[in-house]
């Protein structure tokens, strides 16, 4: 690793941080979506929904810790600027994550008369965490500007990300359940798909208008030709998912995971578009990756740790999903 220089190391850590955030919004996104969808489910269905995320939800949040940790140690200046601007929504997000974590453990062990209140707490925590994450995304896209326009866009982004979480959560239930619950999950997926399309369209339209630099990156010739596959692929995938979901569920369950993989691909395409828009800035229009980076000597030491830890996280995640593959079983704690 000694040949890595001050130009390359910040790029490596920016890529690692980006991949960690993408992994988080996909993996924790679906269990946040399942948590919100519990508001539409019956008591027995809620147990099955919790069972579908039970082996994974806690480990999914590891990616959030990793992403924020990389921001802190690799880009400390940016960490201070971002957290200062987002102090309140971050605090509310942590409150939501804590609430749903406590509710997850207590809802099954509580007496019957109190169980529904823990369900409410789980739903509330999932909703609060989802909305605050979307709100933070909106403020980030707006470059942490003040004023009613920035706040209004942040609120729209909050609803858009929550809709995307509902989509990935509903498609997860399509993959992990069967029977009546799966049929309801298909219906939820179709509704969430339409809302996600609206949200992504608004964010995609607003992002180039935030700065002339971003507008130029997307619409200057020949960039517009080379980038055309991204919106075209996204639109085609939305259409394909809509058609596919209208033919679900299938009796043989052979393609139950297909909608979830489609939703994951939509997340990846959206993330790719945002990453391209804001590169090389880690704080929009204020601080580039290299300006915010720690000293190369520090980054090199941190990279050694990341090379050791990251494969362990990936291996554990892959192993847990392999062990608990297939349809979710009855929720039991004995």
pLDDT tens-digit profile of 186-218? 999 999 999 999 999 998 888 888 888 888 888
The per-residue pLDDT for 328 is 79
Mean pLDDT in residue range 164-184: 93
Joined together, the tokens standing for residue 294 give 């720690």
* Region of residue 249 (phi > 0: left; psi between -120 and 50: alpha; otherwise: beta): beta
**Hey, what are 243's tokens?**
């058609």
Report, as an integer, the average pLDDT of 224-230.
89
Residue 263 has pLDDT above 90, yes or no: yes
- For residue 293, being part of any structural domain is answered with yes
pLDDT at residue 207 in the model: 86
Dihedral in degrees, nearest 10, Cα atoms 209, 212, 217, 218? 30
SS3 327: coil
Tokens 């309801």, residue? 184
Per-residue pLDDT band for 173 (boundaries 50, 70, 90) equals very high
251 pLDDT exceeds 80? no
For residue 288, the cross-strand partners are: 281
pLDDT at 334 over 60: no
Q: In which band, very low, low, confident or very high, does the pLDDT at 179 lie, cut at 50, 70 and 90?
A: confident
pLDDT of 162 higher than 90: yes
Average pLDDT over residues 5-17: 89
Mean pLDDT on 57-72: 87
pLDDT of residue 3: 59
Residue 329, domain member (yes or no): no
Distances (CA, A) of 219 to 205, 209, 226: 12, 11, 10
Cβ neighbors of 254 (< 8 A, separation 6 or more) are none
Tell me, what's the pLDDT at 60? 86
Please report the pLDDT score of residue 205 as a whole number.
Answer: 87
| Residue 93 belongs to some domain of the structure | yes
Domain count, the chain: 1
- Tens digits of per-residue pLDDT, 104-160? 888 877 777 778 889 999 999 999 999 999 999 999 999 888 888 889 999 999 999
Closest CA to 185 of 77, 34, 308, 325: 34
334 in a domain, yes or no? no
Give the global pTM.
0.92
Position 72 in a domain: yes
pLDDT score recorded for residue 54: 83
Q: Is residue 3 part of a domain?
A: no
Mean pLDDT of the chain: 89
Radius of gyration of the chain (CA): 20
148-176 helix and 179-210 helix, angle to the nearest 10 degrees? 150
Structure-token pair, residue 53:
């995320």
Nearest to 329 by CA among 177, 115, 105, 169: 177
332: in domain:
no
What pLDDT is recorded for position 331?
A: 58
pLDDT of residue 5: 75
Please report the pLDDT score of residue 44 as a whole number.
80
Residues 6 or more apart whose CB falls under 8 angstroms from that of 258 comprise 244
**Token pair of 142, please?**
């707006």
Q: How far apart are CA 265 and CA 240, in angstroms?
A: 12
pLDDT digits (tens, 9 = 90+) for 316-333: 889 989 988 888 776 555
Does the structure show a pLDDT above 60 at 2?
A: no
Asked whether 259 and 171 are in contact (CB, 8 A), the reply is yes
Q: Which of 186, 183, 165, 300 is nearest to 243 (CA)?
A: 186
Residue 13: pLDDT above 60?
A: yes
Q: Is the dihedral of CA 201, 202, 207, 211 positive or negative?
A: positive
Q: Where does the pLDDT of residue 32 fall: very low under 50, low under 70, confident under 90, or very high at 90 and above?
A: very high
Q: Give the structural domain span for 35.
A: 9-323
330, part of any domain: no
Residue with tokens 């043989």: 252
Query: For 264-296, what is each residue's pLDDT tens digit?
Result: 999 999 999 999 999 999 998 889 999 999 988
Report the alpha-carbon distance of residue 119 to residue 39 in Å, rounded: 8
């Amino acid at each position: 690793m000694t040949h890595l220089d001050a130009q390359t190391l910040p790029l490596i850590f920016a890529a690692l941080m980006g991949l960690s955030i993408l992994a988080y919004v996909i993996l924790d996104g679906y269990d946040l979506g399942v948590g919100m969808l519990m508001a539409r489910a019956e008591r027995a269905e809620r147990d099955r929904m919790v069972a579908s995320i039970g082996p994974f939800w806690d480990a999914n949040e590891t990616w959030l810790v990793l992403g924020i940790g990389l921001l802190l140690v690799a880009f400390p200046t940016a960490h201070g600027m971002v957290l200062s601007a987002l102090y309140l929504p971050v605090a509310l997000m942590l409150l939501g994550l804590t609430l749903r974590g406590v509710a997850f453990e207590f809802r099954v062990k509580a007496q019957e008369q109190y169980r529904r209140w823990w369900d409410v707490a789980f739903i509330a925590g999932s909703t609060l965490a989802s909305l605050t994450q979307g709100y933070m995304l909106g403020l980030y896209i707006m470059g942490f500007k003040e004023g009613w326009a920035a706040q209004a866009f942040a609120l729209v982004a909050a609803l858009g990300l929550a809709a995307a979480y509902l989509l990935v959560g509903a498609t997860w239930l399509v993959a992990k359940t069967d029977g009546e619950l799966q049929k309801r999950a298909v219906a939820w997926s179709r509704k969430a798909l339409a809302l996600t399309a609206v949200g992504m369209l608004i964010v995609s339209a607003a992002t180039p208008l935030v700065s002339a630099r971003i507008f130029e990156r997307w619409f200057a010739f020949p960039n517009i030709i080379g980038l055309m596959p991204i919106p075209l692929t996204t639109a085609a995938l939305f259409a394909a998912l809509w058609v596919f979901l209208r033919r679900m569920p299938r009796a043989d369950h052979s393609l139950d995971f297909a909608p979830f993989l489609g939703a994951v691909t939509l997340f990846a395409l959206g993330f790719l578009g945002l990453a391209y828009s804001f590169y090389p800035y880690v704080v929009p229009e204020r601080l580039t990756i290299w300006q915010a980076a720690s000293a190369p000597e520090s980054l090199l030491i941190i990279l050694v740790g990341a090379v050791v830890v990251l494969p362990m996280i990936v291996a554990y995640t892959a192993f847990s999903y392999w062990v608990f593959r297939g349809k979710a079983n009855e929720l039991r704690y004995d």
